[in-house]
Amino acid sequence: MKLLSVLLAGGALLPLTAAYASDATSFPEKPITVVVPFTAGAGPDVLTRELARIVSEETGQPVIVNNRPGASSSIAAQAVAKAPADGYTVLLTGNVAMTGNRHTFKQLSYDPVTDFAPITTVARGPMILYVSTENIGATSIGELADFARSRPQPLRFAYTSITGRLPAEMLKLRTGIQLEGVAYKSGAQALPDLVAGRIDLSFTDLSAWTYVEQGKLRPLAVTDSKRSSYVPDLPTMQEAGLKDVSVPFWLGVYAPAGTPAPIVDRLNRLFGEASKSATAQHVHKFMGTEPFHTTPKELAVFQEKEAEQWGQAIREAGIELQ
């Protein structure tokens, strides 16, 4: 009887499994909404919209980008965590929501692990340390440190999340200089202040490079453990003399927990191929990122490894919980 029950149970599951597989074959049959924690026009938002265009072209269904910035990506993450687990609402986010926030907030409105089904990563790249040429003549981190020590007041750095704050705190820790962080809601708000000299420095992506070409910003180093192929002359933080400072960023796609595996796999192929496509390359170049495609299982493992490393760095930098 027990064996018969098991066989019957297994048989009962077959139609359900077949239904999911059938759904995945025809998926999507209506518009997909991609919720992002970025402001419109930010580098990751530009990449998301290009991926959405490519996925829409591939599937014949509209892919809508819904900007939900604020609260260090928590607003967007919470919205998707509570969405139906059918694959039609997904989150495209940076490592802030999935790795950094768990170490900087006492309470989160979502769980980065249990509330989501990982789909794939789509991009990764370094942050770049930019200084305002209005205020600072330094051409290296060593010169920046000497300049900072010569001033009675701390240098001010702009940040929008832990991704921009952590490398600044590590710079402060490794050099012993005084830095004061100024929080902004978005990079679009911070960049004009940096260019005008109201802020001294900031860590952000390659999309600010146009101001380097205009002579208004000067890049000093990249935050990855290797140099960027887009700006190969820029040293890494390690090469610039800062031991154990590597804070790159990445972008990944997530569905609500419970989304059927065949639909997750379908989304993995759609977004992964879109990120690697030739038409997305110009946006990767704009941001300074490289295509980065993982399986759902690989993303889950990668996320936990990143969360552990970010946690160690955040604790070492003395960043307190909010």
What's residue 1's pLDDT? 44
Band (5; pLDDT cuts 50, 70, 90) = very low
DSSP codes, 227-248: --SSSTTSPBTTTTT-TT----
Share of the chain above pLDDT 90, in %: 76
What's residue 188's pLDDT? 81
Band (10; pLDDT cuts 50, 70, 90) = very low
Residue-wise pLDDT for 220-273, tens only, equals 999 999 999 999 999 999 999 888 888 889 999 999 999 999 999 999 999 999
Instruction: Please state the rounded mean pLDDT for residues 141-161.
Output: 95
Residue-wise pLDDT for 75-103, tens only, equals 999 999 999 999 999 999 988 999 999 99
Predicted TM-score (pTM) of this structure: 0.88
By the 8 A CB rule, do 68 and 128 touch?
no
What's residue 23's pLDDT? 60
List, in order of start, the domains of the chain with CATH numbers.
Answer: 32-125+248-316 (3.40.190.150), 128-222 (3.40.190.10)
What's residue 6's pLDDT? 41
What's residue 99's pLDDT? 92
DSSP run (H or E) holding 129:
strand 128-132
Share of the chain above pLDDT 70, in %: 93
103 or 11: which carries more pLDDT confidence? Answer: 103
By the 8 A CB rule, do 275 and 291 touch?
yes
Residue-wise pLDDT for 273-322, tens only, equals 999 999 999 999 999 999 999 999 999 999 999 999 889 888 988 888 87
Backbone phi, psi, residue 82, to 5°: -95, 0
By the 8 A CB rule, do 42 and 188 touch?
yes
Band (70; pLDDT cuts 50, 70, 90) = confident
